[in-house]
Amino acid sequence: MTTTVRPGVWGVLATPFTGSALDVDNTGVARLAEHAQAAGVTGLTVLGVFGEAARLSWAERRIVLETVLDSTDLPLVVGCTALATAPVVDEARMAVEVAGDRLAGVMVHANSGDRATLHAHLSAVHQASGAPIVIQDYPAVSSVAVSPSMLGDLVAACDFVAAVKAESPPTPVAVAEVTARCDVPVFGGLGGINLLDELAAGAAGAMTGFSYPEALVACVRAWFAQEPAKSRAELLDYLPLITFEQQAGIALAIRKECLRRRGLIAESAVRPPARALPDALHGMLAEHLAIIERGR
């Protein structure tokens, strides 16, 4: 099993649903994974927040993971949704069992701002599962605040941590602080909204979902080719849509509708209690997509 999360773009996959029962659309899952691979992502993040993993049954999670494994040959980071140690251990063990050598790490929320508590949690998950850990610092979801300095020092002391996903604003500050204190790759998230500044702060790339992953890939590749002006140019036309997608409370619904309009999934439904896309935004979304497509 690899213990390295390589720099680049790790695409976070949505979980499309179908019909009035909102069943998992396995065909749509496969299509999204195949598109992300064709777009040039380094790897895929499955069962993350954007994948609505917290709203999937245990059997559905397994099916989604198996579908992605069958659809691409990319390495995977598999998300764990819980905060308490025991359920995270169960999620991590399932990821190891199903993904095997394709597993680059399990993504675990930072569940405490206390260093000793967080260290004990991460250590227990790793020891019980054997999986490398990707720490996700995402207070908007976890409601846990972690100082970047503590996080960086903790990571430096934990050889089982394979990467950090920094989603605690201001993210460029967090990326700079964590990378200064440890040697593991630190990735930005939040749909790529701060990607250019995160790269300048030392990020290893992005681990996020966006309806045009090819734009994130082009931006990051140009940056690592030491072409900052090209990196900026590759992303600029997409920034209005990135911002539009990141609207609090409805980001998931917006992005799924973008994916539907791109022909990548058949339906854009989200599972409650997630909010559906408001009618007032449909025209604005259509204009954002039309501008991008005219420029491609």
Dist. CA 173–CA 171, nearest whole Å: 5
> How large is the average pLDDT for residues 14-38?
98
pTM of structure: 0.95
**Whether pLDDT at 270 is above 60:** yes
- Among the listed residues 92, 87, 90, 118, the one whose alpha carbon sits nearest the alpha carbon of residue 107: 92
> How large is the average pLDDT for residues 228-242?
97
Q: What is the pLDDT of residue 52?
A: 97
Q: Is the dihedral of CA 72, 77, 82, 87 positive or negative?
A: positive
**Whether pLDDT at 277 is above 70:** yes
* Mean pLDDT taken over the chain: 96
Q: What is the DSSP letter of 103?
A: E
Dist. CA 115–CA 158, nearest whole Å: 12
> How large is the average pLDDT for residues 71-85?
97
**Whether pLDDT at 2 is above 80:** no
Q: What is the pLDDT of residue 295?
A: 82
Q: pLDDT band for 296, please (50, 70, 90 cuts).
A: confident
> How large is the average pLDDT for residues 72-86?
97
**Whether pLDDT at 232 is above 80:** yes
Q: What is the pLDDT of residues 141-174, one digit of tens each?
A: 999 999 999 999 999 999 999 999 999 999 999 9
Q: Are 37 and 72 in contact (CB under 8 A)?
A: yes
> How large is the average pLDDT for residues 121-147?
97
What are the angstrom distances between the C-alpha of 283 and each of 286, 287, 293? 5, 6, 15
Q: What is the pLDDT of residue 114?
A: 96
Contacts of 103 (CB under 8 A, 6+ apart): 1, 2, 75, 76, 77, 78, 95, 96, 131, 132
> How large is the average pLDDT for residues 39-65?
97
> How large is the average pLDDT for residues 208-222?
97
Q: pLDDT band for 81, please (50, 70, 90 cuts).
A: very high
**Whether pLDDT at 1 is above 50:** no
Residue ranges of the alpha helices (H) in the chain?
Answer: 26-39, 58-71, 85-99, 115-129, 139-142, 148-156, 171-181, 195-200, 213-224, 228-236, 239-245, 251-261, 282-295
